[in-house]
Amino acid sequence: MRMGLDLGGTEIKAADLDRNGETRFAKRIANPRHDCTNSIEARVSQVASLGASSVGASIVKRRA
C-alpha cells in the first residue's frame, strides 16, 4: 500500500494507492490557514484516515 499527502495552501489531500497505482481511497479537507497547530493536526488526521497505525509530526521554530 502507498499513501500520498498533498499539502496545498487551501486544502490537504490524502490518497491510498494499490499496487498498480490505482486510487483506493481519497479525501480532501480544508487547510486551516494562519494556524500552525490546527494545520499540523489536520495533516495528522488525513494520514490517520488512510489507516496508518502511527503518525508523527514536528514543528521547527525559526530563531530571530
User: Percentage of the chain surpassing pLDDT 90?
Assistant: 2
pLDDT greater at residue 63 or residue 24: 24
| Residue 59 and residue 44 in contact, taking contact as beta carbons nearer than 8 Å | no
Q: What is the pLDDT of residues 26-52, one digit of tens each?
A: 889 888 888 888 888 888 888 788 776
Poorest-pLDDT segment among 8-12, 30-34, 45-49, 60-64: 60-64
Task: Measure CA of the first residue to CA of the last residue in the chain; give whole Å.
Answer: 42
Q: Where are the domains of the chain?
A: 2-49
Residue 54's pLDDT is 52
Residue 46 CB neighbour total at 10 angstroms: 23
Q: What pTM was computed for the model?
A: 0.63
